[in-house]
Amino acid sequence: MLSPLVAIIRTCPNSVLPADFEFDFSPAREAPAELQEVALLYWEYDGIDGYSDAVLWTRKTTEIDFKPWAGTIHYAAAAGGVATSSSFDCPSCGEPLTLSSRQTLADARRGKAPECRDCNGTINQRAAAVLDPSALAKRRRKTQADERAQAEAEAIRKQDAIRAQDEAALEQVRRPRSRRSTRARQMIRGSTTSSMRR
């Protein structure tokens, strides 16, 4: 597993500017290592886009395997660790801004005043739900059921493909017989017609 600082701050190409904000990521001790990794991948960035002034995230959210943990990536990331930017303060409590999502950071950089995780509350509740052992067991069962259903669907697709191949092969075998039968009938008719002329 990469250290948080090495993972988050990377060498930037020329069109990428250094970050204009302080950033810290702390893995959640109670989270499994795999979930901490999801959070680390979610928060990893390369810098600021020199053209759009947006944060350049190292990965798209679709490139991170968060589905075993939660239906929404920022809930999985929140369960895996806490990202904080001391460059911004929460308008409600005045503490450094703990980030609920990438959008929270974007809003803070645009001058909006998003609340920290504690004041917002929703993100911490969702993160706790992700870490709840009964929820983990339920997701594990659902993942296993989904995998079984996928395997069954794949087996049916393979059987259908084999059946289609068998039917096509059988049709190929039948066609030449039909042609032979037609030719034989034509030959018989032809010889009958010839003998009748004689």
- Averaged pLDDT for residues 15-43: 92
- State the pLDDT confidence band at 5, using cuts at 50, 70 and 90: very low
Host domain of residue 167: 136-198
149 and 122 part of one domain: no
14 and 103 part of one domain: yes
93 and 140 part of one domain: no
Among 60-74, 83-97, 171-185, which range has the highest average pLDDT?
83-97
Last residue within a domain, chosen from 131, 150, 171:
131
User: How many whole angstroms separate alpha carbon 196 and alpha carbon 198?
Assistant: 5
Last residue within a domain, chosen from 115, 131, 147:
131
- Averaged pLDDT for residues 112-135: 92
Is the predicted pLDDT of residue 184 greater than 70, yes or no?
Answer: no
Q: What pLDDT, on a 0 to 100 scale, did the predictor assign at position 180?
A: 54
User: How many whole angstroms separate alpha carbon 3 and alpha carbon 109?
Assistant: 25
96 and 68 part of one domain: yes
50 and 91 part of one domain: yes
Is the predicted pLDDT of residue 30 greater than 80, yes or no?
Answer: yes
Q: In angstroms, how far is the first alpha carbon of the chain from the final one?
A: 96
29 and 127 part of one domain: yes
20 and 109 part of one domain: yes
Last residue within a domain, chosen from 131, 155, 181:
131
Q: What pLDDT, on a 0 to 100 scale, did the predictor assign at position 14?
A: 54
**Domain total in the chain:** 2
CA 2 to chain centre: 21
94 and 114 part of one domain: yes
More confident residue, 138 or 4: 138
